Structure 1
Amino acid sequence: MGKIVLALAAILLAVIAARAASIEEQYRGWLARDLWPAAQARGISQTTFNQALGATSPNLKLPDLVLPGQSASSQRQQHQAEFRAPSAYFQHVGGVVSGGRSRAQRLASVLTAIEQRFGVPRGIVLAIWGRESGFGRADIPHDAFEVLATKAFLSTRKDMFREEVLAALEMAEKHGIDPRAMRSSWAGAMGQPQFLPSSYLKYAVDGDGDGRADIWNSEADTLASIANYLAQHGWVRGRDWGFEVVVPQEISCALEGPDQGRRIADWAAMGIRRVGGKAFPAHELSGEGYLMMPAGRYGPAFIVTPNFYRLKDYNESDLYALFVGHAGDRIMYGDISFQAEWHAVSGIGRSGIAAMQRALEGMGYDVGGADGLAGFKTRRSIGNWQERQGKIATCFPDAELARQLR
């Protein structure tokens, strides 16, 4: 029996090795026949191309790859993360806050210059820096060209990563960045602000006056580049990102969303008030605000400003933007906690949420796509359905609701 097992293992290893060799051969052909002509057309030299990609091989351990013989749908299902309750997202906010406060003191002059130049508060840029790379302390383990080229060749989003690897080649050719110094995450995001190469070309700036934008080693360049990213996406100088509020039961949670904005003064006139008895700042009252309830009726509610959606431009997640805004406030103003509690929600996975979304789509609701994520379109669709059924609207998925929508 032992000999049979060993023989089978040897056969399996041989099959795996042959498959890897075949993929490597296809990859080499793709580099020569597809990527090199596109790079050459963008002014990339053969020397730079070879330095960046000549020694790379496909990294088959990366997620979201479609290997020969596999379907894209099976890979998306394999690597789909489980849904987590919103409260879990804030478990490590304290580390970002404490790290941000210590750096706010040490980098005070740099941050003052950045605020004057870009109009983005220091708490916000510090919170993003801490969230993205632990203030530059996080391990960024991968060779960016290996990641980007592998994904351009094999991933579920080949076209996007093809543009990113070409942008990375421009960074090497036109900005003089050593290809081997370009370290990235498994998704190809680089440096302390975790920019994709296309974002580097558009938004990375020199913050320390040495004539180059070094997002791997320079704290000033990192902070200035984050602020420039937000400013270029439309950050409104002088406005806050948002305020925690109390939403009376008679006001529908289905009013949530960036397409249902109204003046903050109008939200206040409806009966929505800030927590702790605070008034909305006078300069905010005439500006547009939006209801945002990331856990529906099961957690804190907010009136957010257009700047909240600039944070979402950095990472397309309500919870990411809320994390950054909340951490930024705590860095700048002290230990401000959410006043409302995050309540437990009965367990449901992303597949269950996706099934609910498909059911709602079948009834004509716009849930923003059946992706298994409870975004604002899904939350308010749930609320609208609940109200039409004569139920108390919670605007959030749970196991019982999933059962009802089957």
Structure 2
Amino acid sequence: MAAIGWNALRRLRLAIAIMVALALGAGVPPAHAADAGFARFIAAIWPEAQRAGVSRATFDSVTTGLEPDYKLPDLILPGRPATGAPSQAEFVQVPADYLKEKSIARLAAQGQRLMQTYGPTLNAIEKRFGVPATIILAIWGRETDYGRYALPYDAMRVLATQAYVGRRKEQYRTEFIDGLLLLQRGDVSRKNFRASWGGATGLTQFLPSELAKHGVDFDGDGRVDIWTSVPDALASAAQQLVNKGWRPGLRWAYEVRAPANVDCTEGVPEVTKPIGEWLREGFLPVRGQKLTAAERAQPASLLQPEGIYGPSFLTTKNYFVIKEYNFSDLYVLFVGHLADRMTSPLPFATPWSASTQLRSRDVEAMQRHLTRIGLYKDKIDGKAGMLTRAALGAYQKSAGLKVDCWPSDAVLRAMSAAR
């Protein structure tokens, strides 16, 4: 009886322990449940990868043991708050902070040294593609500090995670397959295939699909290597600009002084006039710069990154080609100005103002209000770009406010009162 009682007691204790464990774990999915879903997702990509030319050996080599990185930004995870993309400096900093003179001067000095180091290569690239050496060096400097910035993530893990639970799943599914093809061709080793959180890779920051379209084997070794080959990285950047419409011999922009009566709502790409017409309206090239007849005939758009405050620019077709590399006015200004500084020590003629940048949620509130009243038809993204600034200027006109095309607390208060 005693033995039977002891066994019964042990069984009871075991049952109690199991029930307690179940109670404590109620509602918590198994630790690897999500990873099992990820494994099924990756397996489902195989037929599409195979059709694209990926071998089974490559696919298995890359995907065996591959795990998602749920710490990446811009993911949509079940049961968790949606994570947004990290705030890019191009969209949350005022120009004075983004275009810091100290950074520009340092990168320009390094760019001048690199022009000497890679002189023959840069001359050959410029001769072949028509893109100035200074422009492609400036892109390299902005993207990875001339290779000094080490990209922090495993590229294939990033691409797979973004394809699985990112906000742009279909795009990254394609990027993942293109990444497999890069590895299969031997363009990059698995170890060196590092990326940003968004999957951009290499010295000049390409997504795999962009590299597939624009990559150039400029050093002639039989592979497109933008990770360790400076000639390939710079030539690929030049080829991308050409493929997106770069025009040889055309400046990216002209800094000008705007007339006192400037209509800042005209600062949108849709308002394009010959530079000569802008000059007749009172815009003056800074430092007395003289423009040729050919330059005066070129069409250009007005850019005022701080509304009526700070510098003004007349932007050409090539400005918008650089913008294809990174869709930010501050990015293009950084690249264009850095390129200029490699041949001239002069900073912007007009200093940036001390204006402050509203929080993204406040700019979003403005965009929603402008959308409701029919003045804004673009994305609600909290970024005060060209279209948002022009819409703000149109609102200021209609509301009898000072028209400066800048998202300020005063405009936000006026909108709040109107609502």
Same fold, TM exceeding 0.5?
yes
The aligned counterpart of 2:253 is 242
Distance in structure 1 (CA, Å) of the matches to 2:410 and 2:257: 26
Please point out which of 138, 147, 152 is paired with 2:158. Answer: 147
Please state if 1:114 is matched with 2:125.
Answer: yes
Distance in structure 1 (CA, Å) of the matches to 2:135 and 2:27: 47
Preserved CA contact (<8 Å) 2:94 2:356: no
1:262 match: secondary structure = strand
Distance in structure 2 (CA, Å) of the matches to 1:122 and 1:277: 26
How far 1:252 sits from its partner (Å)?
0.3
Instruction: Give CA-to-partner distance per residue, 1:82-128, whole Å, 9 cap, x none.
Output: 83222211122223212211101111111110110000011100000
Q: How does 1:1-400 map onto structure 2 within 5 Å?
A: 20-32=31-43, 34-70=44-80, 74-76=82-84, 79-80=86-87, 83-91=92-100, 92-174=103-185, 177-331=188-342, 333-366=343-376, 368-400=378-410
How far 1:15 sits from its partner (Å)?
9.0
How far 1:173 sits from its partner (Å)?
2.7
Counterparts in 2 of 1:299 and 1:17: CA distance versus 1, 3 Å: farther
2:402 match: secondary structure = coil
- Which amino acid letter does the alignment assign opposite residue 166 of structure 2? S
Preserved CA contact (<8 Å) 1:297 1:395: yes
Distance in structure 2 (CA, Å) of the matches to 1:115 and 1:169: 31
Preserved CA contact (<8 Å) 2:188 2:227: no
Preserved CA contact (<8 Å) 1:318 1:375: yes
Instruction: Give CA-to-partner distance per residue, 1:135-187, whole Å, 9 cap, x none.
Output: 11111122111110011111111111111001111222345543333121121
1:181 match: secondary structure = coil
Preserved CA contact (<8 Å) 1:53 1:146: no
- Which amino acid letter does the alignment assign opposite residue 83 of structure 2? Q
Preserved CA contact (<8 Å) 1:367 1:378: no
Distance in structure 2 (CA, Å) of the matches to 1:318 and 1:270: 24
Distance in structure 2 (CA, Å) of the matches to 1:365 and 1:22: 47
Counterparts in 2 of 1:197 and 1:363: CA distance versus 1, 3 Å: same
Distance in structure 2 (CA, Å) of the matches to 1:386 and 1:135: 43
Counterparts in 2 of 1:19 and 1:354: CA distance versus 1, 3 Å: farther
How far 1:36 sits from its partner (Å)?
1.2
- CA RMSD in angstroms comes to 2.1
2:45 match: secondary structure = helix
Preserved CA contact (<8 Å) 2:219 2:231: yes
Counterparts in 2 of 1:49 and 1:339: CA distance versus 1, 3 Å: same
The aligned counterpart of 2:8 is none
Counterparts in 2 of 1:51 and 1:17: CA distance versus 1, 3 Å: farther
- Which amino acid letter does the alignment assign opposite residue 407 of structure 2? P
Preserved CA contact (<8 Å) 1:66 1:156: yes
Instruction: Give CA-to-partner distance per residue, 1:196-234, whole Å, 9 cap, x none.
Output: 000110111012222221101011111111111101111
- Which amino acid letter does the alignment assign opposite residue 338 of structure 1? F
1:378 match: secondary structure = helix
Distance in structure 1 (CA, Å) of the matches to 2:396 and 2:362: 18
**Percent identical:** 37
5+ residue gaps in structure 2? Answer: 1-20
Preserved CA contact (<8 Å) 1:348 1:399: yes
1:290 match: secondary structure = strand
How far 1:16 sits from its partner (Å)?
11
- Which amino acid letter does the alignment assign opposite residue 77 of structure 2? L
TM-score, normalization: structure 1? Answer: 0.91
Aligned residues: 391
5+ residue gaps in structure 1? Answer: 1-9
How far 1:20 sits from its partner (Å)?
4.3
For the pair shown, which has the larger CA radius of gyration, 1 or 2?
2
Instruction: Give CA-to-partner distance per residue, 1:220-256, whole Å, 9 cap, x none.
Output: 1111111111011110011000011011121201111
Counterparts in 2 of 1:107 and 1:341: CA distance versus 1, 3 Å: same
Distance in structure 1 (CA, Å) of the matches to 2:352 and 2:27: 47
Preserved CA contact (<8 Å) 1:205 1:213: yes
Counterparts in 2 of 1:108 and 1:252: CA distance versus 1, 3 Å: same
1:40 match: secondary structure = helix
